[in-house]
């Protein structure tokens, strides 16, 4: 029973990290294989932990960014996040589609948190998308991994490296692109002086 609590807490902590961190599904696969757990219970505990982690993340990220990012970059992130508040069904569809990809949801929740988008507008489609994508990854990972050695080799795979690089590019784009210039004037501009 304690192993399921570890699954919940580890996914919660990983999804609270405002920078690139290992994906929660990797921790779930590791714990599933290491402790020979029930995959459905791991899935429910892991997705619940991730959902709570992203909920809390969206609440504290405005304070974090206000302290570490320049005011102009905060304004850009708020502007981008407000795009998520247009129509509920459109934002839910976007969040669901985005969550089904292997990309990190950190940029999504950073922009939403900066714009003070109510978390309930993002959490239901996030939970559904996370449940589906993590189920696929968890069952695939369980079948692919037969020992701890295989798991560790899988973490440093080409796919993991490419996913991390794509995630870094997305986070970098979120932070360094002048979103107002891009969305209002359709001009791509970068601003690298965003830190206080």
Assess whether pLDDT exceeds 60 at residue 35: yes
Helices (H) and strands (E) in the chain, counts: 10, 0
Mean pLDDT of the chain: 82
Average pLDDT on 12-32 reads: 87
Average pLDDT on 58-87 reads: 76
For the segment 148-182, what is each residue's pLDDT rounded down to a tens digit?
A: 455 455 566 677 677 777 767 877 776 777 777 77
Average pLDDT on 32-37 reads: 90
Assess whether pLDDT exceeds 80 at residue 6: yes
Assess whether pLDDT exceeds 50 at residue 147: no
């Amino acid at each position: 029973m304690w192993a399921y609590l570890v699954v919940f807490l580890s996914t919660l902590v990983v999804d609270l990290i405002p920078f690139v961190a290992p994906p929660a599904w990797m921790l779930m696969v590791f714990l599933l294989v290491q402790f020979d757990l029930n995959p459905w219970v791991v899935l429910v505990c892991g997705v619940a932990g991730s959902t709570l982690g992203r909920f809390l993340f969206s609440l504290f990220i405005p304070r974090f960014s206000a302290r570490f990012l320049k005011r102009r970059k905060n304004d850009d992130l708020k502007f981008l996040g407000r795009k998520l508040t247009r129509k509920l069904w459109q934002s839910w569809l976007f969040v669901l589609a985005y969550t089904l990809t292997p990309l990190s949801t950190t940029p999504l929740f950073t922009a939403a948190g900066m714009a003070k988008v109510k978390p309930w507008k993002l959490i239901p489609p996030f939970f559904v998308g996370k449940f589906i994508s993590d189920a696929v990854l968890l069952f695939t990972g369980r079948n692919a991994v037969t020992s701890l050695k295989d798991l560790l080799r899988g973490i440093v795979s080409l796919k993991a490296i490419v996913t991390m690089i794509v995630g870094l590019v997305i986070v970098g784009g979120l932070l360094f692109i002048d979103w107002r210039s891009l969305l209002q004037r359709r001009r791509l501009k970068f601003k690298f002086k965003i830190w206080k």
